[in-house]
Structure 1
C-alpha cells in the first residue's frame, strides 16, 4: 500500500521508495540492472521481489526513475 494505518510503516511505499532512492543515489552510474538493484536493496531492507516491484512502480509513477536502455532502470535525479 502507498499509505496504511502505520501498523508496519517500514512496508509503506513512501518509506521503501526513500530507501530505494538512497541505494540508487550511491551508484555512480545512471543506469542499473533490475536484479542487481534488487540484490543491493534486499540487503538493506529485506523485502520480497513483489514489494520491490511495487516500490519501483511507485518511483516510476512519481518520476524518480524511468526505463533505460536494454531494460535497465535509469535514475532521473
Structure 2
C-alpha cells in the first residue's frame, strides 16, 4: 500500500504521507483534526487513509506527539 502496483497512486500512503508532512511543515505543532483539515486542502483523502498515513509517518520517525496529543514534526 505504500508503493502500490495495482491501485491508483492517489490512494497510496506514500503520497498521502507527503501531503500530511507538507501540511504540517508550516504549522509545527497541531491537533489531529486541524492537521486533517489542512491536509485535505492539499489532497482529498478519506479519514482512514489519513490515519494510516499518520501511522506510517510515526513508525518512520517523521512525526511524533506531545503530552497534550498535538502532532509535531520530527525534522
Calculate the TM-score normalised by the size of structure 2. Answer: 0.88
* Unmatched runs of 5 consecutive residues or more in structure 2: none
* Unmatched runs of 5 consecutive residues or more in structure 1: none
Tell me which residue corresponds to 1:12: 12
- Distance across 2 between alignment mates of 1:74 and 1:62: 14
Q: Is the 8 A contact 1:31 1:68 kept in 2?
A: no
Q: Is the 8 A contact 2:17 2:57 kept in 1?
A: yes
- Distance across 1 between alignment mates of 2:51 and 2:13: 10
Tell me which residue corresponds to 1:43: 41
Stretches of 4+ moved more than 3 A in 1? none
Q: Secondary structure at the match of 1:74?
A: strand
- Cα deviations by residue, 1:20-54 (Å, 9 ceiling, x for unpaired): 11111122xx3110000001111211111111000
Calculate the TM-score normalised by the size of structure 1. Answer: 0.86
Please, what is the CA RMSD of the aligned residues? 1.3
Q: Secondary structure at the match of 1:43?
A: helix
- Name the count of aligned residue pairs: 75
